[in-house]
Structure 1
Amino acid sequence: MFVLWENKIVTTKRGTFEIFIKGEGPPLCVTHIYSEFNVTGDMFANTFTQTNQVFLVNLREAGNSAKAEKAYQLSMIESVLDLEAIREALGFSSWHFAGHSTGGIIGLVYGFWTSASLNSLIVVGSAAREYSNYSSESIYHREHPQFTRMQELIELLKRDDLTEEERKAVTRERNKLSLFNPENYDYYFPSSIHKKMAASRMEFFNRELVIYDITRKLHMITVRTLILCGKYDVQCPLSFSEEIHSLIPDSVLKVFEQSNHYPFLEESTAFLGEIKRFMAVQ
Protein backbone atom coordinates (compact mmCIF):
# COMPACT_ATOMS: atom_id res chain seq x y z
CA MET A 1 0.00 0.00 0.00
CA PHE A 2 1.33 3.42 -0.96
CA VAL A 3 1.79 5.60 2.14
CA LEU A 4 1.89 9.37 1.86
CA TRP A 5 4.48 11.42 3.72
CA GLU A 6 3.48 13.48 6.75
CA ASN A 7 3.34 17.17 5.82
CA LYS A 8 4.52 19.79 8.35
CA ILE A 9 5.31 23.50 8.40
CA VAL A 10 8.31 24.29 10.61
CA THR A 11 8.73 27.77 12.05
CA THR A 12 12.37 28.79 12.36
CA LYS A 13 14.34 31.95 13.09
CA ARG A 14 14.83 32.26 9.31
CA GLY A 15 11.20 31.80 8.29
CA THR A 16 8.76 28.94 7.80
CA PHE A 17 9.64 25.85 5.80
CA GLU A 18 7.61 22.95 4.45
CA ILE A 19 8.92 19.49 5.24
CA PHE A 20 7.71 15.93 4.73
CA ILE A 21 8.42 13.16 7.22
CA LYS A 22 8.51 9.39 6.86
CA GLY A 23 10.33 6.41 8.39
CA GLU A 24 11.85 5.57 11.75
CA GLY A 25 15.35 5.74 13.13
CA PRO A 26 18.07 8.39 13.40
CA PRO A 27 17.05 11.69 11.74
CA LEU A 28 18.24 12.22 8.17
CA CYS A 29 17.69 15.27 5.97
CA VAL A 30 17.15 15.10 2.21
CA THR A 31 16.74 18.06 -0.13
CA HIS A 32 17.51 19.24 -3.66
CA ILE A 33 18.43 22.68 -4.94
CA TYR A 34 15.42 23.15 -7.23
CA SER A 35 12.95 20.28 -6.66
CA GLU A 36 9.54 21.00 -5.18
CA PHE A 37 8.33 18.06 -3.12
CA ASN A 38 4.86 17.08 -1.89
CA VAL A 39 3.20 14.35 0.19
CA THR A 40 3.92 11.72 -2.48
CA GLY A 41 7.57 11.98 -1.48
CA ASP A 42 10.64 11.28 -3.58
CA MET A 43 12.21 8.07 -4.92
CA PHE A 44 15.67 8.94 -3.58
CA ALA A 45 14.37 9.91 -0.14
CA ASN A 46 12.24 6.75 0.00
CA THR A 47 15.39 4.62 0.07
CA PHE A 48 16.40 6.02 3.44
CA THR A 49 13.03 5.48 5.14
CA GLN A 50 14.13 1.87 5.72
CA THR A 51 16.99 2.99 7.96
CA ASN A 52 16.11 6.50 9.15
CA GLN A 53 13.40 9.00 9.97
CA VAL A 54 13.65 11.12 6.85
CA PHE A 55 12.97 14.86 6.71
CA LEU A 56 12.40 15.86 3.08
CA VAL A 57 12.78 19.63 2.84
CA ASN A 58 11.34 22.14 0.41
CA LEU A 59 13.92 24.89 0.32
CA ARG A 60 13.02 28.57 0.11
CA GLU A 61 10.64 29.35 -2.80
CA ALA A 62 9.73 25.66 -3.21
CA GLY A 63 6.22 24.53 -2.30
CA ASN A 64 4.89 26.25 0.81
CA SER A 65 8.27 27.28 2.17
CA ALA A 66 9.21 30.92 2.76
CA LYS A 67 9.79 33.21 -0.20
CA ALA A 68 13.11 34.90 -0.88
CA GLU A 69 13.05 38.60 0.00
CA LYS A 70 16.48 38.99 -1.61
CA ALA A 71 17.93 36.96 -4.50
CA TYR A 72 20.97 35.85 -2.49
CA GLN A 73 18.67 33.89 -0.18
CA LEU A 74 18.44 31.26 -2.93
CA SER A 75 22.19 30.60 -2.82
CA MET A 76 23.79 27.35 -1.73
CA ILE A 77 25.20 28.69 1.51
CA GLU A 78 21.91 30.40 2.45
CA SER A 79 20.15 27.10 1.80
CA VAL A 80 22.53 25.39 4.24
CA LEU A 81 21.81 28.08 6.82
CA ASP A 82 18.09 27.46 6.32
CA LEU A 83 18.64 23.72 6.86
CA GLU A 84 20.53 24.49 10.06
CA ALA A 85 17.60 26.60 11.26
CA ILE A 86 15.22 23.73 10.48
CA ARG A 87 17.43 21.24 12.35
CA GLU A 88 17.50 23.51 15.40
CA ALA A 89 13.74 24.08 15.27
CA LEU A 90 13.16 20.32 15.18
CA GLY A 91 15.31 19.95 18.29
CA PHE A 92 18.13 17.84 16.82
CA SER A 93 21.71 18.48 17.95
CA SER A 94 22.83 16.82 14.69
CA TRP A 95 21.44 14.70 11.86
CA HIS A 96 22.52 12.74 8.81
CA PHE A 97 22.31 14.28 5.34
CA ALA A 98 21.80 12.58 1.98
CA GLY A 99 21.68 14.35 -1.37
CA HIS A 100 21.38 13.23 -4.97
CA SER A 101 22.66 15.36 -7.87
CA THR A 102 22.30 19.02 -6.82
CA GLY A 103 21.12 17.74 -3.46
CA GLY A 104 24.63 16.31 -3.16
CA ILE A 105 26.03 19.77 -3.88
CA ILE A 106 24.07 21.11 -0.92
CA GLY A 107 25.47 18.24 1.14
CA LEU A 108 29.06 19.09 0.24
CA VAL A 109 28.57 22.75 1.12
CA TYR A 110 26.88 21.67 4.35
CA GLY A 111 29.82 19.40 5.12
CA PHE A 112 32.58 21.97 4.84
CA TRP A 113 30.50 24.73 6.45
CA THR A 114 29.58 22.80 9.58
CA SER A 115 30.49 19.12 9.77
CA ALA A 116 29.70 19.28 13.49
CA SER A 117 25.98 19.38 12.65
CA LEU A 118 26.18 16.14 10.66
CA ASN A 119 26.45 12.54 11.84
CA SER A 120 27.27 11.42 8.31
CA LEU A 121 27.08 12.65 4.72
CA ILE A 122 25.88 10.67 1.68
CA VAL A 123 26.49 12.17 -1.76
CA VAL A 124 25.07 10.48 -4.86
CA GLY A 125 25.81 11.36 -8.50
CA SER A 126 27.10 14.84 -7.74
CA ALA A 127 30.07 17.17 -8.24
CA ALA A 128 32.21 19.65 -6.32
CA ARG A 129 32.74 21.96 -9.28
CA GLU A 130 30.88 23.31 -12.27
CA TYR A 131 30.39 20.18 -14.35
CA SER A 132 28.85 21.32 -17.64
CA ASN A 133 32.08 22.79 -19.03
CA TYR A 134 34.61 20.41 -17.47
CA SER A 135 33.48 17.20 -19.12
CA SER A 136 32.03 16.53 -22.56
CA GLU A 137 30.62 13.31 -21.05
CA SER A 138 28.06 15.43 -19.22
CA ILE A 139 24.73 15.91 -20.96
CA TYR A 140 24.95 19.59 -19.92
CA HIS A 141 28.12 20.09 -22.00
CA ARG A 142 27.50 21.76 -25.36
CA GLU A 143 29.37 19.02 -27.20
CA HIS A 144 27.20 16.24 -25.80
CA PRO A 145 24.83 14.84 -28.48
CA GLN A 146 21.79 15.19 -26.19
CA PHE A 147 22.64 18.68 -24.91
CA THR A 148 20.09 20.61 -26.97
CA ARG A 149 17.20 18.29 -26.22
CA MET A 150 17.96 18.28 -22.50
CA GLN A 151 17.93 22.09 -22.45
CA GLU A 152 14.61 22.17 -24.30
CA LEU A 153 13.06 19.79 -21.77
CA ILE A 154 14.34 21.82 -18.81
CA GLU A 155 12.83 24.99 -20.24
CA LEU A 156 9.50 23.24 -20.72
CA LEU A 157 9.47 22.08 -17.09
CA LYS A 158 9.87 25.67 -15.91
CA ARG A 159 6.51 26.61 -17.43
CA ASP A 160 3.43 26.95 -15.27
CA ASP A 161 0.95 26.41 -18.10
CA LEU A 162 1.68 22.71 -18.74
CA THR A 163 -1.14 20.29 -18.08
CA GLU A 164 -0.42 17.46 -15.66
CA GLU A 165 -0.17 15.01 -18.56
CA GLU A 166 2.17 17.29 -20.51
CA ARG A 167 4.41 17.69 -17.46
CA LYS A 168 4.53 13.92 -16.97
CA ALA A 169 5.49 13.37 -20.61
CA VAL A 170 8.30 15.94 -20.48
CA THR A 171 9.58 14.56 -17.17
CA ARG A 172 9.50 11.06 -18.59
CA GLU A 173 11.59 12.00 -21.62
CA ARG A 174 14.05 13.99 -19.49
CA ASN A 175 14.60 11.20 -16.97
CA LYS A 176 14.99 8.55 -19.67
CA LEU A 177 18.03 10.43 -20.97
CA SER A 178 19.76 9.63 -17.66
CA LEU A 179 18.97 5.91 -17.37
CA PHE A 180 21.24 2.96 -18.19
CA ASN A 181 18.15 1.03 -19.33
CA PRO A 182 15.58 3.69 -20.34
CA GLU A 183 13.07 1.00 -21.31
CA ASN A 184 12.64 0.34 -17.57
CA TYR A 185 11.37 3.87 -16.87
CA ASP A 186 7.86 2.85 -15.78
CA TYR A 187 9.30 0.36 -13.29
CA TYR A 188 11.73 2.92 -11.83
CA PHE A 189 9.32 5.87 -11.66
CA PRO A 190 5.85 4.88 -10.45
CA SER A 191 3.08 7.33 -11.28
CA SER A 192 2.13 7.59 -7.61
CA ILE A 193 5.18 9.80 -6.93
CA HIS A 194 5.49 13.18 -8.60
CA LYS A 195 7.24 16.49 -8.00
CA LYS A 196 7.80 19.82 -9.73
CA MET A 197 10.67 22.13 -10.50
CA ALA A 198 10.97 25.40 -8.57
CA ALA A 199 11.79 27.64 -11.54
CA SER A 200 13.17 30.59 -9.54
CA ARG A 201 15.58 28.28 -7.72
CA MET A 202 16.64 26.66 -10.98
CA GLU A 203 17.34 30.05 -12.57
CA PHE A 204 19.46 31.19 -9.61
CA PHE A 205 21.34 27.88 -9.51
CA ASN A 206 22.26 28.19 -13.20
CA ARG A 207 23.92 31.53 -12.44
CA GLU A 208 25.66 30.31 -9.29
CA LEU A 209 26.89 27.18 -11.05
CA VAL A 210 29.09 29.27 -13.37
CA ILE A 211 31.47 30.03 -10.48
CA TYR A 212 30.85 26.87 -8.43
CA ASP A 213 34.07 25.17 -7.32
CA ILE A 214 34.50 23.99 -3.73
CA THR A 215 37.25 21.43 -4.39
CA ARG A 216 39.72 23.33 -2.20
CA LYS A 217 37.31 23.17 0.73
CA LEU A 218 36.50 19.46 0.67
CA HIS A 219 39.36 18.66 3.07
CA MET A 220 37.33 20.59 5.68
CA ILE A 221 34.64 17.91 5.64
CA THR A 222 35.44 15.90 8.76
CA VAL A 223 32.27 13.82 8.94
CA ARG A 224 32.15 10.24 7.66
CA THR A 225 31.15 10.45 3.97
CA LEU A 226 29.76 7.89 1.52
CA ILE A 227 29.99 8.74 -2.17
CA LEU A 228 27.87 6.73 -4.61
CA CYS A 229 27.75 7.04 -8.40
CA GLY A 230 26.61 5.17 -11.47
CA LYS A 231 29.44 4.22 -13.80
CA TYR A 232 27.61 5.78 -16.75
CA ASP A 233 26.24 8.90 -15.03
CA VAL A 234 25.50 11.34 -17.84
CA GLN A 235 24.62 14.32 -15.65
CA CYS A 236 27.54 14.35 -13.20
CA PRO A 237 30.02 11.87 -14.72
CA LEU A 238 31.89 9.44 -12.49
CA SER A 239 35.12 11.45 -12.63
CA PHE A 240 33.50 14.10 -10.41
CA SER A 241 32.64 11.54 -7.71
CA GLU A 242 36.18 10.19 -7.92
CA GLU A 243 37.48 13.72 -7.38
CA ILE A 244 35.24 14.22 -4.34
CA HIS A 245 36.46 10.94 -2.86
CA SER A 246 40.11 11.89 -3.36
CA LEU A 247 39.62 15.18 -1.51
CA ILE A 248 37.46 14.18 1.49
CA PRO A 249 39.66 12.46 4.08
CA ASP A 250 37.15 10.05 5.67
CA SER A 251 35.22 9.03 2.57
CA VAL A 252 34.26 5.84 0.76
CA LEU A 253 33.40 5.60 -2.94
CA LYS A 254 31.09 2.95 -4.38
CA VAL A 255 30.53 2.71 -8.15
CA PHE A 256 27.44 0.98 -9.58
CA GLU A 257 28.41 -0.83 -12.76
CA GLN A 258 24.97 -0.89 -14.41
CA SER A 259 23.67 2.54 -13.53
CA ASN A 260 23.46 5.99 -15.00
CA HIS A 261 22.30 8.92 -12.82
CA TYR A 262 19.85 6.92 -10.66
CA PRO A 263 21.68 4.00 -9.00
CA PHE A 264 19.13 4.00 -6.15
CA LEU A 265 16.55 2.94 -8.78
CA GLU A 266 18.66 1.12 -11.33
CA GLU A 267 20.45 -1.10 -8.80
CA SER A 268 18.14 -0.55 -5.86
CA THR A 269 18.98 -3.72 -3.90
CA ALA A 270 22.74 -3.12 -4.05
CA PHE A 271 22.24 0.58 -3.31
CA LEU A 272 20.14 -0.10 -0.22
CA GLY A 273 22.72 -2.63 0.92
CA GLU A 274 25.42 0.04 0.83
CA ILE A 275 23.20 2.43 2.81
CA LYS A 276 22.43 -0.18 5.47
CA ARG A 277 26.12 -1.07 5.88
CA PHE A 278 27.09 2.58 6.13
CA MET A 279 24.35 3.43 8.62
CA ALA A 280 25.19 0.42 10.78
CA VAL A 281 28.55 2.00 11.64
CA GLN A 282 28.03 4.78 14.15
Structure 2
Amino acid sequence: MTIGSPTDFSGRLTINGAELVVEAFGPEDAPAMIVHHGAPGLGSRSEPRRSFGPFADRFRVIVFDARGSGESSDDEPFTHEQWVADVDAIRAHFGYERIVMAGGSYGGFIALEYAIAHPERVAALVLRDTAADTAHDHLAVERAKTTDRTVIPQWAIDRIGTGRFESNDQIREYWKAILPLYDHQHDPAKDAARLAATRFHYRTHNAAFGQNMPKYDLKPKLPTITCPTLVTVGRHDWRTPVAASQVIADLIPDARLVVFEHSGHSPQLEEPELFQRTVRDFLDSAGIR
Protein backbone atom coordinates (compact mmCIF):
# COMPACT_ATOMS: atom_id res chain seq x y z
CA MET A 1 0.00 0.00 0.00
CA THR A 2 1.36 3.44 -0.85
CA ILE A 3 0.84 7.06 0.10
CA GLY A 4 -2.47 8.27 -1.28
CA SER A 5 -4.38 5.08 -0.40
CA PRO A 6 -7.85 5.27 1.18
CA THR A 7 -6.41 4.54 4.62
CA ASP A 8 -4.39 7.76 4.67
CA PHE A 9 -5.20 10.42 7.24
CA SER A 10 -4.36 14.10 7.13
CA GLY A 11 -5.91 16.65 9.43
CA ARG A 12 -5.91 18.53 12.70
CA LEU A 13 -6.22 16.66 15.98
CA THR A 14 -6.72 18.09 19.45
CA ILE A 15 -3.84 16.61 21.41
CA ASN A 16 -3.41 17.55 25.07
CA GLY A 17 -5.09 20.92 24.46
CA ALA A 18 -3.15 21.81 21.30
CA GLU A 19 -4.25 21.59 17.68
CA LEU A 20 -1.68 19.44 15.90
CA VAL A 21 -1.51 18.76 12.17
CA VAL A 22 -1.02 15.02 11.78
CA GLU A 23 -0.61 12.69 8.80
CA ALA A 24 -0.73 8.90 8.75
CA PHE A 25 -0.15 6.71 5.74
CA GLY A 26 0.37 3.05 4.99
CA PRO A 27 -1.63 -0.03 6.01
CA GLU A 28 -3.60 0.48 9.20
CA ASP A 29 -2.90 -3.07 10.34
CA ALA A 30 0.87 -2.73 9.82
CA PRO A 31 3.38 -1.95 12.60
CA ALA A 32 3.26 1.74 13.50
CA MET A 33 6.14 4.17 13.18
CA ILE A 34 5.93 7.67 14.67
CA VAL A 35 8.59 10.07 13.39
CA HIS A 36 9.42 13.32 15.21
CA HIS A 37 10.90 16.22 13.27
CA GLY A 38 13.76 18.35 14.53
CA ALA A 39 14.35 22.09 14.96
CA PRO A 40 11.49 23.21 17.22
CA GLY A 41 10.02 26.41 15.82
CA LEU A 42 11.68 25.78 12.44
CA GLY A 43 11.04 22.17 11.54
CA SER A 44 7.86 20.45 10.41
CA ARG A 45 6.41 17.12 9.33
CA SER A 46 7.56 17.70 5.75
CA GLU A 47 11.05 16.23 6.33
CA PRO A 48 9.87 13.06 8.13
CA ARG A 49 7.16 12.61 5.51
CA ARG A 50 9.76 12.75 2.75
CA SER A 51 12.33 10.63 4.60
CA PHE A 52 10.03 7.93 5.99
CA GLY A 53 7.23 8.01 3.45
CA PRO A 54 8.80 5.13 1.52
CA PHE A 55 8.34 2.91 4.60
CA ALA A 56 4.56 3.11 4.16
CA ASP A 57 4.76 -0.02 2.05
CA ARG A 58 5.26 -1.99 5.28
CA PHE A 59 4.48 0.39 8.14
CA ARG A 60 1.78 2.75 9.30
CA VAL A 61 3.89 5.93 9.25
CA ILE A 62 2.69 8.82 11.40
CA VAL A 63 4.24 12.30 11.13
CA PHE A 64 3.09 15.58 12.62
CA ASP A 65 3.97 19.17 13.34
CA ALA A 66 4.84 19.35 17.03
CA ARG A 67 3.14 22.00 19.12
CA GLY A 68 4.78 25.32 18.36
CA SER A 69 6.07 24.21 14.95
CA GLY A 70 4.88 24.09 11.37
CA GLU A 71 1.12 24.44 11.03
CA SER A 72 0.30 23.31 14.57
CA SER A 73 -0.89 25.70 17.27
CA ASP A 74 1.44 27.64 19.55
CA ASP A 75 0.06 26.27 22.82
CA GLU A 76 2.64 26.11 25.58
CA PRO A 77 4.42 24.53 27.31
CA PHE A 78 7.26 23.83 24.90
CA THR A 79 9.00 21.27 27.08
CA HIS A 80 10.38 17.81 26.47
CA GLU A 81 7.83 16.40 28.89
CA GLN A 82 4.96 17.94 26.93
CA TRP A 83 6.32 16.88 23.53
CA VAL A 84 6.73 13.32 24.86
CA ALA A 85 3.16 13.37 26.20
CA ASP A 86 1.95 14.54 22.78
CA VAL A 87 3.68 11.60 21.07
CA ASP A 88 2.01 9.19 23.45
CA ALA A 89 -1.40 10.80 22.92
CA ILE A 90 -0.98 10.47 19.14
CA ARG A 91 -0.05 6.81 19.59
CA ALA A 92 -3.16 6.26 21.70
CA HIS A 93 -5.38 8.17 19.26
CA PHE A 94 -4.48 5.77 16.46
CA GLY A 95 -4.86 2.77 18.76
CA TYR A 96 -1.36 1.29 18.71
CA GLU A 97 0.02 -0.48 21.77
CA ARG A 98 3.65 -0.32 20.59
CA ILE A 99 5.46 1.75 17.99
CA VAL A 100 8.75 2.21 16.26
CA MET A 101 9.88 5.59 17.57
CA ALA A 102 12.05 7.63 15.22
CA GLY A 103 13.52 11.10 15.43
CA GLY A 104 16.28 13.21 13.96
CA SER A 105 18.30 16.06 15.48
CA TYR A 106 16.10 17.64 18.18
CA GLY A 107 13.49 15.07 17.27
CA GLY A 108 16.05 12.52 18.40
CA PHE A 109 16.06 14.13 21.82
CA ILE A 110 12.31 13.57 22.04
CA ALA A 111 12.59 10.03 20.67
CA LEU A 112 15.13 9.20 23.37
CA GLU A 113 13.01 10.85 26.06
CA TYR A 114 9.98 8.88 24.87
CA ALA A 115 11.84 5.57 24.96
CA ILE A 116 12.97 6.32 28.52
CA ALA A 117 9.52 7.45 29.70
CA HIS A 118 7.53 4.70 27.95
CA PRO A 119 9.76 1.65 27.48
CA GLU A 120 6.77 -0.67 27.20
CA ARG A 121 5.52 1.29 24.18
CA VAL A 122 8.69 1.19 22.05
CA ALA A 123 9.36 -1.82 19.85
CA ALA A 124 12.44 -0.21 18.29
CA LEU A 125 14.21 3.15 18.26
CA VAL A 126 15.62 4.86 15.16
CA LEU A 127 17.82 7.92 15.77
CA ARG A 128 19.44 10.28 13.30
CA ASP A 129 22.10 12.95 13.93
CA THR A 130 21.22 13.59 17.53
CA ALA A 131 22.83 13.77 20.98
CA ALA A 132 22.36 12.76 24.60
CA ASP A 133 23.69 16.03 26.03
CA THR A 134 25.18 19.38 25.00
CA ALA A 135 28.83 18.39 25.39
CA HIS A 136 29.59 18.79 21.69
CA ASP A 137 27.76 22.07 21.07
CA HIS A 138 30.96 24.09 21.12
CA LEU A 139 32.13 22.21 18.03
CA ALA A 140 29.18 23.60 16.06
CA VAL A 141 30.21 27.12 16.98
CA GLU A 142 33.78 26.44 15.86
CA ARG A 143 32.58 24.96 12.57
CA ALA A 144 30.44 28.04 11.94
CA LYS A 145 33.41 30.30 12.60
CA THR A 146 35.79 28.44 10.30
CA THR A 147 33.58 27.36 7.39
CA ASP A 148 34.82 28.32 3.94
CA ARG A 149 31.36 28.05 2.37
CA THR A 150 30.10 31.44 3.44
CA VAL A 151 30.69 34.20 5.95
CA ILE A 152 28.34 33.73 8.86
CA PRO A 153 27.70 36.99 10.75
CA GLN A 154 29.00 37.07 14.29
CA TRP A 155 25.54 37.87 15.67
CA ALA A 156 24.29 34.57 14.16
CA ILE A 157 27.25 32.60 15.52
CA ASP A 158 26.58 34.06 18.96
CA ARG A 159 23.02 32.66 18.84
CA ILE A 160 23.78 29.06 17.88
CA GLY A 161 22.06 26.87 20.44
CA THR A 162 21.08 29.78 22.68
CA GLY A 163 17.40 30.51 22.07
CA ARG A 164 17.91 34.28 22.06
CA PHE A 165 15.63 35.59 19.32
CA GLU A 166 13.36 38.60 19.40
CA SER A 167 11.12 38.00 16.38
CA ASN A 168 10.29 35.64 13.55
CA ASP A 169 12.12 37.97 11.18
CA GLN A 170 15.30 37.69 13.22
CA ILE A 171 15.21 33.91 13.42
CA ARG A 172 14.55 33.81 9.67
CA GLU A 173 17.79 35.75 9.06
CA TYR A 174 19.59 33.40 11.43
CA TRP A 175 18.27 30.33 9.61
CA LYS A 176 19.30 31.82 6.29
CA ALA A 177 22.81 32.44 7.63
CA ILE A 178 23.46 28.93 8.96
CA LEU A 179 21.71 26.80 6.30
CA PRO A 180 24.92 26.47 4.22
CA LEU A 181 26.42 24.39 7.04
CA TYR A 182 23.93 21.54 6.97
CA ASP A 183 24.60 19.43 3.87
CA HIS A 184 27.89 17.79 2.94
CA GLN A 185 27.50 18.95 -0.65
CA HIS A 186 26.34 22.55 -0.45
CA ASP A 187 23.55 23.55 -2.82
CA PRO A 188 22.47 27.22 -2.51
CA ALA A 189 19.26 26.52 -4.44
CA LYS A 190 18.31 23.85 -1.92
CA ASP A 191 19.00 26.29 0.93
CA ALA A 192 16.75 28.89 -0.70
CA ALA A 193 13.93 26.39 -1.12
CA ARG A 194 14.26 25.22 2.48
CA LEU A 195 14.19 28.80 3.72
CA ALA A 196 11.09 29.62 1.67
CA ALA A 197 9.26 26.55 2.99
CA THR A 198 9.96 27.23 6.68
CA ARG A 199 7.32 28.51 9.08
CA PHE A 200 8.94 30.40 11.94
CA HIS A 201 7.94 30.23 15.61
CA TYR A 202 10.68 32.04 17.48
CA ARG A 203 9.14 31.58 20.95
CA THR A 204 9.20 27.80 20.50
CA HIS A 205 12.83 27.90 19.43
CA ASN A 206 13.70 30.11 22.40
CA ALA A 207 12.07 27.70 24.83
CA ALA A 208 13.76 24.68 23.26
CA PHE A 209 17.28 26.05 23.33
CA GLY A 210 17.08 28.67 26.06
CA GLN A 211 15.16 26.66 28.66
CA ASN A 212 15.22 22.96 27.78
CA MET A 213 18.73 22.40 26.53
CA PRO A 214 20.75 23.88 29.42
CA LYS A 215 19.45 21.03 31.62
CA TYR A 216 19.49 18.31 28.95
CA ASP A 217 21.62 15.28 29.80
CA LEU A 218 20.23 11.80 29.19
CA LYS A 219 23.48 9.88 29.58
CA PRO A 220 22.66 8.41 33.02
CA LYS A 221 19.34 7.07 31.68
CA LEU A 222 20.47 5.64 28.35
CA PRO A 223 21.47 2.23 29.78
CA THR A 224 17.81 1.73 30.76
CA ILE A 225 16.78 1.63 27.09
CA THR A 226 16.47 -2.05 26.18
CA CYS A 227 14.66 -1.96 22.83
CA PRO A 228 16.62 -2.50 19.59
CA THR A 229 18.23 0.84 18.72
CA LEU A 230 19.72 2.18 15.50
CA VAL A 231 21.90 5.29 15.69
CA THR A 232 22.67 6.98 12.37
CA VAL A 233 24.79 10.07 11.67
CA GLY A 234 26.45 11.86 8.78
CA ARG A 235 30.24 11.84 8.86
CA HIS A 236 30.36 15.59 8.19
CA ASP A 237 27.55 16.70 10.52
CA TRP A 238 28.40 20.18 11.82
CA ARG A 239 25.68 20.31 14.48
CA THR A 240 25.65 16.87 16.13
CA PRO A 241 28.95 15.21 15.20
CA VAL A 242 29.76 11.52 15.05
CA ALA A 243 31.19 11.68 18.57
CA ALA A 244 27.76 12.60 19.94
CA SER A 245 26.18 9.57 18.28
CA GLN A 246 29.01 7.37 19.53
CA VAL A 247 28.13 8.33 23.11
CA ILE A 248 24.55 7.17 22.56
CA ALA A 249 25.62 3.92 20.91
CA ASP A 250 28.07 3.20 23.71
CA LEU A 251 25.49 3.72 26.47
CA ILE A 252 22.40 2.00 25.03
CA PRO A 253 22.88 -1.77 25.31
CA ASP A 254 23.52 -3.41 21.93
CA ALA A 255 22.79 -0.23 19.96
CA ARG A 256 23.92 -0.21 16.34
CA LEU A 257 25.84 2.81 15.02
CA VAL A 258 25.95 3.54 11.29
CA VAL A 259 27.97 6.47 9.91
CA PHE A 260 27.07 7.82 6.46
CA GLU A 261 30.31 8.86 4.84
CA HIS A 262 28.88 11.28 2.27
CA SER A 263 26.41 13.18 4.44
CA GLY A 264 26.21 16.14 6.75
CA HIS A 265 23.30 16.61 9.15
CA SER A 266 20.76 14.81 6.94
CA PRO A 267 21.83 11.40 5.62
CA GLN A 268 18.15 10.51 5.19
CA LEU A 269 18.05 13.16 2.45
CA GLU A 270 21.66 13.14 1.24
CA GLU A 271 21.99 9.36 0.93
CA PRO A 272 18.32 8.32 0.89
CA GLU A 273 18.64 4.89 -0.70
CA LEU A 274 21.37 3.81 1.70
CA PHE A 275 19.51 5.30 4.65
CA GLN A 276 16.29 3.48 3.78
CA ARG A 277 18.10 0.22 3.24
CA THR A 278 19.92 0.60 6.56
CA VAL A 279 16.69 1.24 8.46
CA ARG A 280 14.88 -1.62 6.73
CA ASP A 281 17.70 -4.04 7.51
CA PHE A 282 17.70 -2.93 11.12
CA LEU A 283 13.93 -3.34 11.52
CA ASP A 284 14.10 -6.75 9.83
CA SER A 285 16.83 -7.84 12.24
CA ALA A 286 14.67 -6.61 15.13
CA GLY A 287 11.82 -8.78 13.91
CA ILE A 288 9.52 -5.87 13.17
CA ARG A 289 7.60 -6.64 9.99
- TM-score with structure 1 setting the length: 0.80
Equivalent positions of 1:162-177 (< 5 A) are 171=175, 173-177=177-181
Q: Is the 8 A contact 1:14 1:82 kept in 2?
A: no
Aligned residue for 2:231, secondary structure, equals: strand
Residue matched to 1:11? 14
Residue matched to 1:145? 146
Equivalent positions of 1:14-93 (< 5 A) are 14-24=17-27, 25-31=30-36, 32=38, 34-35=40-41, 41-51=45-55, 52-68=59-75, 73-93=77-97
- Unpaired runs of at least 5, structure 2: none
Confirm or deny that 1:125 pairs with 2:132.
no
Aligned residue for 1:269, secondary structure, equals: helix
Q: Is the 8 A contact 1:19 1:55 kept in 2?
A: yes
The 1:276–1:153 alpha-carbon spacing in structure 2 relative to 1, beyond 3 Å, is same
Confirm or deny that 1:101 pairs with 2:105.
yes
Total equivalences in the alignment: 267
Confirm or deny that 1:262 pairs with 2:266.
yes
Structure-1 separation of matches of 2:145 and 2:60: 39
Confirm or deny that 1:244 pairs with 2:245.
no
Residue matched to 2:182? 178
Q: Is the 8 A contact 1:34 1:197 kept in 2?
A: no
The 1:173–1:67 alpha-carbon spacing in structure 2 relative to 1, beyond 3 Å, is closer
The 1:12–1:170 alpha-carbon spacing in structure 2 relative to 1, beyond 3 Å, is closer
Structure-2 separation of matches of 1:258 and 1:278: 20
Give the letter aligned to residue 104 of structure 2: H
The 1:151–1:219 alpha-carbon spacing in structure 2 relative to 1, beyond 3 Å, is same
Q: Is the 8 A contact 1:17 1:86 kept in 2?
A: no
Q: Is the 8 A contact 1:35 1:58 kept in 2?
A: no
Q: Is the 8 A contact 2:100 2:122 kept in 1?
A: yes
Moved more, 217-226 or 264-273: 264-273
Aligned residue for 1:30, secondary structure, equals: strand
The 1:144–1:128 alpha-carbon spacing in structure 2 relative to 1, beyond 3 Å, is farther
Moved more, 200-209 or 99-108: 200-209
Q: How much identity, in percent, do the aligned residues show? A: 22
Q: Is the 8 A contact 2:42 2:205 kept in 1?
A: no
Aligned residue for 1:239, secondary structure, equals: helix
CA-to-aligned-CA distance 1:242-270 (integer Å, 9 cap, x gap): 00000001310000112111111222221
Structure-1 separation of matches of 2:245 and 2:198: 26
Structure-2 separation of matches of 1:254 and 1:262: 13
The 1:66–1:117 alpha-carbon spacing in structure 2 relative to 1, beyond 3 Å, is farther
Q: Is the 8 A contact 2:144 2:181 kept in 1?
A: no
- TM-score with structure 2 setting the length: 0.78
The 1:187–1:112 alpha-carbon spacing in structure 2 relative to 1, beyond 3 Å, is same
Confirm or deny that 1:206 pairs with 2:209.
yes
Q: Is the 8 A contact 2:84 2:110 kept in 1?
A: yes
The 1:96–1:263 alpha-carbon spacing in structure 2 relative to 1, beyond 3 Å, is same
Moved more, 10-19 or 212-221: 10-19
Residue matched to 1:196? 199
CA-to-aligned-CA distance 1:27-49 (integer Å, 9 cap, x gap): 211223514666xx523432211
Give the letter aligned to residue 103 of structure 2: G
The 1:30–1:94 alpha-carbon spacing in structure 2 relative to 1, beyond 3 Å, is same
